[in-house]
Amino acid sequence: MEIQERPTTTPLLSVTEAAAVKIKQLMAEESDVGVLRVAIEGGGCSGFQYGLGFDSGAADGDLEFEQHGVTVVVDPLSAPYLQGAEVDYVDSIQAAGFAINNPNAVSSCGCGHSFQVAEGEAPEDAAAGCGSGCSH
C-alpha cells in the first residue's frame, strides 16, 4: 500500500503563537470583528507602512487563512509585499506590541512600522520620505 502525501500549502504569512494569543484577547474586547486584516499602505519613513486591524470578514478577492485559531485576511495588492512575513507580538523591557518580520523589506525605519522594498518592486504611486508613522 502506497502512502500518498498531501500537498502542504504554506500560508502567505505566518502568525506566531504569542501574536495569536494577543489578537484573540483584543478581538474578545471588540464587537463585530472576526478577522485580522494585514495590509501594506503607502507612506511612512521608508515608503511603505504596515496596517494591522480587525474587520468583520473578508472582502471580495482577499486571501484568507487561519493560524493558531486566528483568521487572517490580506488584500491582493498587499499580498506580494507580505509573502513569507511573520506577525509576532513582542513584550520586553524595550518594547511591547506587534512586530512584522518581512523578508521582502530591504530596509526599514527605526520605528519598525515602515519599510522599503527592492528597486523596481514598488508601485509608482508609492509615497516616499518621512511620514507620520515615525519620529526621528
pTM: 0.71
pLDDT, one tens digit per residue, over 30-81 is 999 999 999 998 876 667 888 999 999 999 999 999 999 999 999 999 999 9
- Considering 25-29, 123-127, 130-134, the range whose residues carry the highest mean pLDDT is 25-29
100 located within any domain: yes
Asked, for residue 60, whether it belongs to a domain, the answer is: yes
Residue 126 inside a domain? The answer is no
Q: Please indicate, yes or no, if residue 123 is contained in any of the structural domains.
A: no
With respect to residue 135, please indicate whether it lies within any of the assigned structural domains: no
Any domain includes 72? yes
Whether the pLDDT of residue 105 is over 90: the answer is: no
Mean pLDDT of the chain: 78
The total number of structural domains in the chain stands at 1
CATH number, residue 20: 2.60.300.12
Residue 122 belongs to a domain: no
Q: Identify whether 89 is part of a domain.
A: yes
Domain housing 104: 14-116
Q: Which three-class secondary structure string do you get for the chain?
A: CCCCCCCCCCCCCEECHHHHHHHHHHHHHCCCCCEEEEEEEECCCCCEEEEEEEECCCCCCCEEEEECCEEEEECCCCHHHHCCCEEEEEECCCCEEEEEECCCCCEECCCCCEEECCCCCCCCCCCCCCCCCCCC
